[in-house]
Structure 1
Amino acid sequence: MEFIKMRDGYEIYFRDEPAQNPKGVITITHGFAEHCSRYDHVSNYLIREGYSIIRYDLRGHGRNKKRGRLNRFEDYVDDLAEIVQMVSEKYPHLPQITLGHSMGGLITALYGIEHPNLVTAQILSGPTVGKLPSAEKLQPGMMKFLSGIAGGWKLKNPVDEGLCGKEGVYEDYINDPLVLHKVSLELYYQFLFRASEMILEGAKEYNYPCLIIHGKIDPIVPVEISRSFYNTISSQKKDLIEYDGLYHEILNEDKKDEILDGIINWIKNL
């Protein structure tokens, strides 16, 4: 296993998977409570298509230390910025694309707002680029207060069968020892409130070429969130593809190869 040290000394699990004669580099940012190894099939598919892949576990996730903990959501965005810079130095002449799923899509989009014109394009899968239904019954002021005095207090991961329509995916998720089954109050607050404020405030400034893909019956991140983001951003090239009958993890559904093929075709048309 390879770990890289970030600017503050924190070490994250990191994978660099080169393709032969690569056409570009795709950096994958995973979602809330999961880890980068859940994207093995995505990585393998994209490598076969000629794209080198960079993957990593978010701080507090997967194989990293302080599991389930997070001081500030900006750390995720800063980590991605540092990784993008590393990739640019290693592959200076290749197009670089950032792909994020769910909370990883939010991180990717926030990176896009704060760091324009540094990558070629972005792909957002079921991104949490707005206020989630799971936050509607919570009081942000109380959550902020509690995260300040008891931020390390762990709550149960609320993800349920709405994760994916394909049989076995949810069962594998809940039995995966690298998935976070309990998450700190501080991470919940930063994700559900702090980060949603950041993306809603900055969405108009977003102008990267972007592809947004979303399952139409996603109960975790409703497709309306992607529609609103798509209608707000300033990108000259932007595409939103909605998939009938699919849930949240569309890259794990039976149609995953069709979706990945669509991603490749979109990249080719940049």
Structure 2
Amino acid sequence: MFIYLSSVHVASGFSFVPNPPSGTTVGDINVEYEYKVYTIEVGSSWMFDWGDGNYSGWIKVENSKGFISQNHSWSDYGVYKVRVKYRSVYMVESPWSDPLTVNITLPSDLDGDGWINEVEIAYGKNPNDPNEYPLDTDNDGTPDNDSIDGRYTGDVDDDGDGLTDSIEESVGSNPKDNSDVETVFVENTIFYIVDTDNDNQWNILYNPGTGLKTKITNQNGVFYLDINGDGNYDYTYNNGLFVYRPFPWLQVILTAAGIILIIIAILFKTGIIYLYEEEYIVEE
């Protein structure tokens, strides 16, 4: 631990105001901390005022090592003003120095579980038990729910999947499970594909901008998406490759037309249908 020494200008027989002592400014109760003042005047004396009603008594400088030090601990949490006073070899005393402020505070996380005490208390948890802390499904540092005392607001997206809990409840997905929602981009717009029945298959396409929900059709791992709610599929989504492409309406139409033509040709060939020509004789 590095300790910075406080220098003072010393002149025997002359009263001066010493600099504040140096040492720890933040600590815990019942732990001793070291405080120092710098001096080279052998035979002079120094006294520490610990700010808690206790004093060190006069400490005589026995050699010219450059500083004197004292240890002190506090038994109660609080803010303490540590001062020093100088007395020369001629018994001339200085005024008290300006104080060094020392905060003896309750550790912010008593049980070391990553949650500060006041949050654990607000959520009705034991700040001394590392196995007891607020529920945080997505580990983002914000508890899932509001605190009991109303001081803290819970996470609006417990599982961190991009959809708020209220939206997940409305579409039917689990707000505690981030595997049932996938973010996709169609036409530079964010959509969410959602598994609403926990069968590991996407069922709903959700547009957060409009609130529109449309059904997804799955055919052999290819998902057909209706992005505007008109009942027609506009895009397909390959779940394996994460590739998007417009739904091939032209291909479907041409394929259907080809099939119809083939059927008609077969019907002609088998004689099921045929062209009937009728001759008319015109008498003059």
Q: TM-score range by the shorter chain?
A: under 0.3
Q: Which has the higher helix share?
A: 1
Larger relative contact order (C-alpha < 8 A, sep ≥ 6)? 1
Larger Rg: 2
Q: Which has the higher strand share?
A: 2
**What's the TM-score, normalizing by structure 2?**
0.19
